[in-house]
Amino acid sequence: MFPQSRPRRLRARPNIRDLIRETELSVRDLVYPLFVNENLTAPKEIGSMPGIRSLPVSELGEEARSVEALGIPAVLLFGVPSRKDPKGTSADDPDGIVQRAIREIRKVSEITIITDLCLCEYTDHGHCGMLRGDDVDNDSTLDRYAAIAVSQARAGADMIAPSGMMDGQVAAIREGLDRSGFENIPIMSYAAKYASSFYGPFRDAAESTPQHGDRRSHQMDPGNAREALREMGLDIEEGADILMVKPALPYLDIVHRARERFNVPLAAYQVSGEYSMIKAAAENGWIDHDRAMMESLQSIKRAGADFIITYFAKEAARVVGE
């Protein structure tokens, strides 16, 4: 009780604040997403994501090396193919864009390569799976996901991250990987992925906006928290090694509840819209860029994430390295 109790005593000096800080962000907590686009011959700025570029395969090696040199342990790879069709056949082509990208990175870098696994970048209709009528058909999509996972693993992926939100996708991918001798390749499941407006800028970069309809038949309703825990429980039973919550900042309660409930490692994805909001406000001089960036990342870790997938990874690495 006051006056004996004075919390300000511990805030009076920087050194004491440093000693008692409960959450510290490290460069080892960061994963950097990379976009590789088969249509490009030179890097291309993504207008809605200042500082982020789509890259041709030829630039990936150098980019991966510079990310690795900053101490960032892993990249999350997204591919944009030149050819799209209803089944997304280029997604599991041994010479597909992601498969080539993996080999290109491997030539020059030991960085951990995580591959996003979805069909929305590869289908001409832009949906995350096979269509039946206007609907995404769950079960025929699972076979496609398993084939893509095996193809990515064969090309040298270190970890597979399925983001399509089909029921049973983790089990299907686990079985496919195991059958092909990839029983040691972990699965990071986008377990609680919400139907979020914050993916807007990403869809520009990945050219993956659905031609009709939206993703609400498979991505989660933003009003639901218990359902997220159910999704996560199912994914653990199906064999997920790491769970992910996405987006991060608007869903910190989900991160926190997942941390309390489950004993597997937990990732959070600070998505494109979260990044672009901070960039836009900072460019207008309305907030301090580095402080807002670090505060958002720290809050995600404080909520319980073990690591964070973020477009800020390189800039944050420089700040924590200082």
Specify the stretch interacting with ligand PBG by CB under 6 A; choose among 116-124, 221-229, 231-239, 278-286.
116-124
272 binds ligand PBG (CB under 6 A): yes
CB of 120 to ligand PBG, least distance (A): 5
Instruction: Give the helix, strand, coil percentages of the chain, each rounded to 5.
Output: 45, 20, 35
Using CB under 6 A as the criterion, what x/- string covers residues 128-167 for binding ligand PBG?
-----------------------------------x----
**Residues acting as catalytic residues:** 193, 246
| Cβ distance to ligand PBG smaller for residue 53 or 203 | 203
32 binds ligand PBG (CB under 6 A): no
The angle formed by the CA atoms of residues 234, 240 and 246, to the nearest 5 degrees, is: 80
Give the torsion sign (CA, 128, 132, 138, 140).
negative
203 binds ligand PBG (CB under 6 A): yes
Specify the stretch interacting with ligand PBG by CB under 6 A; choose among 86-94, 197-205, 277-285, 289-297.
197-205
**Among residues 118, 136, 170, 248, the one that binds ligand PBG under rule CB under 6 A:** 118
182 binds ligand PBG (CB under 6 A): no
Q: Number of H helices and number of E strands within the chain? A: 11, 12
| Cβ distance to ligand PBG smaller for residue 182 or 199 | 199
Structure tokens at 250: 């608007």
By DSSP bridging, strand 74-80 and strand 112-117 are parallel
CB of 33 to ligand PBG, least distance (A): 7
123 binds ligand PBG (CB under 6 A): no
End-to-end CA distance of the chain: 39
194 binds ligand PBG (CB under 6 A): no
Residue type at position 192? A
Torsion-angle region of 140 (φ positive above 0: left; ψ -120 to 50: alpha; else: beta): alpha
The angle formed by the CA atoms of residues 98, 100 and 103, to the nearest 5 degrees, is: 110
CA distances in angstroms from 143 to 90, 119, 147, 168, 174, listed in the order given: 15, 12, 6, 11, 12
**Among residues 35, 199, 307, 312, the one that binds ligand PBG under rule CB under 6 A:** 199
Q: Which residues bind ligand PBG (CB under 6 A)?
A: 116, 118, 120, 163, 199, 202-203, 208, 215, 271-272
